[in-house]
């Protein structure tokens, strides 16, 4: 497990947390951060994917504002800072950074060349945008915020996409969920699972809305999805 440096398309560079499988090589998973930066939660997720046989890379998407930021969801001050970073985030440049990171991971010695993405919260929407704007082999979004605002890109989805949606997600209300299902539900490349009675970030271990049963169900589905499309 190590820090790597990735060159940005428009100049400069940013860091990423790379976790590699015990075998030394495997398919790649691009792990896309929440609004708290590449914190311990994201590093633990990357380590978990590495334990499953993947080369997992989580890039720092807030580097243009505050490189190396690592927040938790345990204090009001940290929530406030996280939302400031989220509001200041340039989504288009963030997707470009993810595209560059995808290429970096594909070319890394620890990667077989096949790469998918998985994102949480902010990263959940970015995983959707990776499905519409990149050639990643597959993409997974957990409780993405704002996917309903980007549904005009749905026709660009050419690789499998898996979405996990929390029924009681305050950041993805019923009308947004209905729009997502209406536009994406008939797309054979897209699989949507709704988790009844759970709130946003139900899979964030230690988080306020963590739900063990829902998290285990979503993670099992994601593992099967990645195995099917990436082959680890």
Nearest to 132 by CA among 207, 187, 170: 187
**pTM check: above 0.75:** yes
Closest Cα to residue 41, out of 130, 122, 147?
A: 122
| Domain boundaries, position 9 | 2-230
Tally of domains in the chain: 1
Structure token digits, residue 178: 């209905």
Are 30 and 116 in contact by the 8 Å Cβ rule? The answer is: yes
| Per-residue pLDDT at 209 | 87
pLDDT at 129: 98
- CATH number of the domain residue 74 falls in: 3.40.50.1820
- pLDDT of 35: 96
Low-confidence ranges of the chain (pLDDT < 70): 232
* Cα 146 to Cα 229: distance, rounded to the nearest angstrom: 26
Residue 232 has what pLDDT?
Answer: 67
Q: 164 has which bridge partners?
A: 142, 193
Q: What is the pLDDT of residues 148-162, one digit of tens each?
A: 999 999 999 999 999
By annotation, the residues acting in catalysis are 169, 200
User: Whose CA is closest to 32, among 135, 137, 144, 132?
Assistant: 144
pLDDT value, residue 207: 83
Helix 122-133, helix 91-106: angle, nearest 10: 70
| Interatomic CA distance for residues 160 and 49, integer angstroms | 19
């Amino acid at each position: 497990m190590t820090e790597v440096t990735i060159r940005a398309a428009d100049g400069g560079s940013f860091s990423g947390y790379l976790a590699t499988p015990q075998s030394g090589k495997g398919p790649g998973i691009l792990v896309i951060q929440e609004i708290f930066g590449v914190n311990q939660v994201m590093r633990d997720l990357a380590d978990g994917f590495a334990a499953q046989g993947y080369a997992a890379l989580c890039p720092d998407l807030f580097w243009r504002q505050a490189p190396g930021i690592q927040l938790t969801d345990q204090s009001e001050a940290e929530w406030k800072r996280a939302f400031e970073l989220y509001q200041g985030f340039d989504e288009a440049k963030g997707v470009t950074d993810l595209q560059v990171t995808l290429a970096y991971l594909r070319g890394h010695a620890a990667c077989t060349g096949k790469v998918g993405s998985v994102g949480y919260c902010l990263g959940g929407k970015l995983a959707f945008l990776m499905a519409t704007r990149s050639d990643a082999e597959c993409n997974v979004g957990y409780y993405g915020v704002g996917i309903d605002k980007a549904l005009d890109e749905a026709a660009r989805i050419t690789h499998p996409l898996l979405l996990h949606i929390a029924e009681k997600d305050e950041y993805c209300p019923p009308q947004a969920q209905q729009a997502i299902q209406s536009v994406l539900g008939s797309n054979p490349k897209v699989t949507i699972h709704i988790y009844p009675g759970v709130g946003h970030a139900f899979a964030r271990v230690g988080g306020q809305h963590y739900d063990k049963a829902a998290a285990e169900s979503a993670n099992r589905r994601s593992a099967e999805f990645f195995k099917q499309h990436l082959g680890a």
